[in-house]
């Protein structure tokens, strides 16, 4: 069984996906200033998944050009939604084996890669990443409202899919 925080991340992922059901490729690339477009948001979350759960622990890059398209501090872009969902699916599939392996001891460690030690532990990175998903889920929902979409999810879904479970 995955660590409870990993279960919360997976719940945040599913809520992010649920929030984007019915989004058209055309609306996904509309940029309502000063926000990024929704397809960029999908790619941006994949960038963090790749950095935290694939590159730091293994040194591998699943989608090589993803950071250039949607990374923090990069120029704004409007990538195609289908390409960003594909990247997100590839990266999350590659991230899941590491996430499934997380134990309390690992969560307390700061990852090391190429002679650099990350400033946060894996546990703190996991907290940050869950919050990042919720931030962008709300942002995407607001953008969809501005685009005139209706019948959008109004609140967090079925919490029984990721109920409280004690650590350990």
Give the pLDDT of the chain (168 residues) as one tens digit per residue: 899 999 999 999 999 999 999 999 999 999 999 999 999 999 999 999 999 999 999 999 999 999 999 999 999 999 999 999 999 999 999 999 999 999 999 999 999 988 999 999 999 999 999 999 999 999 999 999 999 999 888 778 887 777 787 877
Find the DSSP H helices in the chain. 4-19, 25-28, 38-49, 56-58, 66-70, 81-101, 104-107, 122-146
Phi, psi dihedrals of residue 30, rounded to the nearest 5°: -75, 130
Per residue in 45-69, pLDDT (tens digit) is 999 999 999 999 999 999 999 999 9
- The secondary element (H helix, E strand) that includes residue 153 is none
- Please report whether residue 156 resides in a domain: yes
**Per-residue model confidence (pLDDT) at position 62:** 98
Separation CA 148–CA 3 (nearest Å): 39
Confirm whether 26 is domain-assigned: no
Residue 105 lies inside a defined structural domain of this protein: yes
Which pLDDT does position 155 carry in this prediction?
77
Quote the pTM value: 0.94
Full residue range of the structural domain in which residue 102 is found:
4-20+46-161
| Structural domain count of the chain | 1
- The per-residue pLDDT for 108 is 96
Residue 64 covered by a domain:
yes
Angle in degrees, 0-180, between the axes of helices 38-49 and 122-146, rounded to the nearest 10:
170
Q: What is the mean pLDDT of the chain?
A: 94
Is residue 39 in a domain?
A: no
């Amino acid at each position: 069984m995955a660590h409870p925080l990993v279960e919360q991340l997976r719940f945040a992922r599913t809520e992010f996906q649920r929030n984007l059901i019915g989004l058209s490729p055309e609306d996904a690339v509309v940029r309502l200033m000063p926000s990024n477009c929704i397809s960029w948001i999908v790619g941006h979350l994949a960038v963090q998944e790749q950095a935290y759960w694939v590159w730091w622990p293994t040194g591998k890059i699943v989608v090589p050009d993803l950071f250039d398209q949607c990374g923090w501090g990069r120029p704004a872009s409007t990538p195609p939604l289908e390409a960003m969902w594909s990247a997100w699916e590839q990266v999350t599939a590659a991230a899941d084996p590491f996430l499934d392996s997380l134990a309390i001891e690992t969560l307390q460690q700061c990852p090391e890669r190429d002679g650099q030690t990350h400033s946060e532990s894996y546990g703190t990175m996991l907290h940050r990443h869950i919050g990042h998903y919720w931030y962008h889920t709300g942002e995407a929902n607001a953008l969809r409202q501005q685009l005139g979409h209706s019948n959008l999810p109004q609140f967090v879904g079925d919490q029984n899919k990721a109920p409280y479970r004690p650590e350990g």
